[in-house]
Amino acid sequence: SSEVLEAIENVVQGVFQSLAQKKAPVLTVANRTDWRNIEFKDSVGLQMIPGCTRKQIRSDCPQSARRFALMLKILSMIYKMVQSNTYATKRDIYYSDTLLFGSQSVVDQIINDISCMLKIPRRSLHVLSTTKGFVAGNLCYTEEDGTKVNCTCSATAVTVPSNVQGIKNLTSHAKFILIVEKDATFQRLLDDDFFSKVSPCIMITGRGVPDLNTRLLVRKLWDSFQIPIFSLMDADPHGVEIMCVYKYGSVSMSFEAHHLTVPSVKWLGLLPSDLKRLNICKDALIPFTKQDENKLASILKRPYIASQPLWKRELEIMAASKLKAEIQVLTSLSSDFLSRVYLPNKLQFGGWL
DSSP per-residue letters across 122-171:
GGGGTEEPPP--EEEES-EEE-TTS-EEESSS-SSPEEPPS-GGG-EEEE
Structure confidence at residue 155 (pLDDT) = 67
- Which residues are catalytically annotated? 95
Contact 149, 143 (CB under 8 A): yes
Q: Alpha-carbon distance 247 to 37, whole Å?
A: 19
Q: What burial letters (b/e) apply to 300-319, b meaning 16+ CB within 10 Å? A: bebebbeebeebeebbebbb
What is the enclosing helix (H) or strand (E) of 264? none
The SS3 assignment for 80 reads: helix
Domain residue ranges of the chain, discontinuous segments joined by +: 1-128, 134-349
SS3 string of 20-62?
Answer: HCCCCCEEEEECCCCHHHEEEECCCEEEECCCCCEEEEECCCC
To the nearest 10°, the Cα dihedral for 123, 125, 128, 134?
A: -10
To the nearest 10°, the Cα dihedral for 280, 286, 291, 292?
A: 0
What's the CATH number for 1-128?
Answer: 1.10.10.10
What's the CATH number for 134-349?
Answer: 3.40.1360.10
What is the enclosing helix (H) or strand (E) of 335? none
Q: Alpha-carbon distance 307 to 249, whole Å?
A: 15
Q: Alpha-carbon distance 244 to 231, whole Å?
A: 10
Q: Alpha-carbon distance 223 to 3, whole Å?
A: 25
Structure confidence at residue 132 (pLDDT) = 86
Contact 244, 215 (CB under 8 A): no
If we measure between CA atoms, which residue out of 293, 140, 274, 130 comes closest to residue 213? 130
Q: What is the pLDDT along the chain (353 residues), one digit of tens a residue?
A: 788 898 888 888 998 999 898 888 888 887 777 777 777 777 777 777 777 767 888 888 888 888 898 999 999 999 999 899 888 888 888 998 888 898 898 998 888 888 888 888 877 888 887 788 999 988 999 988 888 988 886 667 888 888 888 888 999 998 999 999 998 899 888 888 887 777 888 999 998 888 888 999 999 999 999 999 999 999 999 999 999 889 988 776 776 767 788 888 999 988 999 988 888 888 888 898 999 889 999 888 888 888 888 989 999 999 998 888 899 888 888 888 888 889 988 888 888 88
Contact 184, 149 (CB under 8 A): no
Largest separation between any pair of C-alpha atoms in the chain: 74
CA angle 98, 102, 104 (to 5 degrees): 80
Structure confidence at residue 162 (pLDDT) = 81
Structure confidence at residue 305 (pLDDT) = 86
